Amino acid sequence: MSERSDSTAGPTRRRFLQYLAVAGATANQLLRPGRAAAEATPERLGEVPTMSYRSLGRTGHQSSRLVFGCGASLALWAKDELLEQAFEAGINTFDVGFRGYYRNAEENLGPFAKRHRDEIFLISKAQVPVELEPNDDVTVAQAKQGAAGWQAAMDASLKELGVERLDAYYLMASHNPKLVTSDEIWETFQRAKQAGKVQNLGLSTHRNAQAVLEAATASGRFDLAMIAITPAGWYDWDSKGLLPESPPMTELRPVLDRARAAGIGLVGMKAGRYLKGRKFLSWGNAGAFDDHYAGKLAAADLSAFQKSYAFVLEHGLDVVNADIQDVGQLRENLVAAATSAEYFA
């Protein structure tokens, strides 16, 4: 039996069906290619289920189970109205990333972040600028170089966002366990924390993810980990598909539980990315995870994306990070995150 969220206030059955009917209007749109960020959507979000929350590891933050992923959404232009509607609907965790990858996202998030700085959990991230393969040994010089580059990116992120502190900063796209758990990275984070720049250390990983997560767990140094995982198992960044021979998520549960027992808040990403597919593969693998669903979830009138989010939330993750481009996607993701526990009661 999967875990239920720490607190959830679900709608009545009648209202819940109304939510699904509204969300269903956007379900097929998510599987179409070339969906523009400026596509026409309802001006207002309207009525949505009451958000549920989960304690995010040892951070102490009671996070909305849906995290607003701002990187791709805000890379080109600001979307203050969309951010405000997400906040009003109960989302209190916002994730972005440095200019070197996400272009203008931090700058575009800045005005909203400053208005709500004491009401939201603000995360940003940057890559550690060292060229290494996943299993390479790491020299002290490489670790120092990486730590210095990561610190410089953190300082730039604070400037871009226009804030004095971040609730968490991630080692982005981590794939080498020896680098992310090096003393040099740890000491750099500690100095930033003492200076009041950041409170929690995290990482994101979608390559060699299990080894990275297990190393982070053993180190005792990490507060958050954002992992690329799907109902079928690990997502593979290199192939933009499922990691070959990965166990399904249900069999990976002990790995996730050990991380959470060590105080790491687990954030899912790429839960539905494989469903979208790639252009030269004819766009879309909508039924890719259907064999992993049973009972209420299998029978639910939800989109493929909603089912993937609901499943990962109830099989070991605390929250899920979703790229949200418009009101339609916001509504659809809110329904899945707020009601996921209902399908596993």
Enter the tokens of residue 151: 């610190």
- Locus of tokens 């232009």: 77
Task: Provide the token pair at 242.
Answer: 């499922």
Q: CB of 52 within 8 A of CB of 337?
A: yes
Rg (CA), the chain: 19
pLDDT value of position 251:
98
Q: Which residues pair with 202 in a beta bridge?
A: 170, 224
CB 146 within 8 A of CB 190: no
**CA-based angle 267:312:342, to the nearest 5?**
115
For tokens 């997400």, what's the residue? Answer: 86
Question: What parts of the chain have a pLDDT lower than 50?
Answer: 1-42
Cβ atoms < 10 Å from Cβ of 63: 23
Beta bridge partners of 323: 69
Tell me what pLDDT residue 282 has.
Answer: 52
Q: How far is CA 266 from CA 59, 132, 246, in A?
A: 11, 25, 19
d(CA 305, CA 201): 29
Residues 6+ apart with CB under 8 A from 84: 112
pLDDT tens digits along 119-174: 999 999 999 999 999 999 999 999 999 999 999 999 999 999 999 999 999 999 99
Residue 147 domain-assigned (yes or no): yes
Handedness of CA 45, 162, 70, 339 (dihedral sign): negative
**What local confidence, expressed as pLDDT, does residue 285 receive?**
84
In a domain, 86, yes or no: yes
Using the 8-state DSSP alphabet, how is residue 218 labeled? H
Nearest to 267 by CA among 275, 255, 277, 256: 256
Please, are residues 210 and 255 in contact by the beta-carbon 8 Å criterion?
yes
- Tell me how far apart the alpha carbons of residues 24 and 22 are, in angstroms, rounded to a whole number: 5
Residue written as token pair 């009138």: 301
User: Is residue 92 a part of any domain in this protein?
Assistant: yes
Residue 7 falls inside a structural domain: no
Total domains, the chain: 1
CB atoms within 10 A of CB 119: 8
Q: Read off the pTM.
A: 0.87
CATH code of the domain covering residue 68: 3.20.20.100
Q: Does residue 38 sit within a domain?
A: no
The two tokens of residue 301 are 């009138």
Residue 232 lies in domain: 13-33+47-344
Distance (Å, whole) CA 182 – CA 115: 36
- At residue 45, φ and ψ (nearest 5 deg) are -65, -40
Give the pLDDT confidence score for residue 271 in this predicted structure. 87
Q: Measure Cα distances from 165 to 65, 103, 236 in Å.
A: 23, 20, 32
Q: How high is the pLDDT of residue 272?
A: 83
CA distance 281 to 300: 27
Look at residue 324 in the predicted model and tell me its pLDDT: 95
Residue 3 inside a domain? The answer is: no
Cα three-residue angle 69-277-307, rounded to 5 degrees: 60
Any domain includes 5: no
pLDDT of residue 16: 37
The DSSP element (H or E) to which 20 belongs, if any, is helix 13-27
What's the pLDDT at 15? 37
Domain assignment present for 182? yes
Residue type, 29: Q
> Pairing between strand 319-323 and 265-269?
parallel
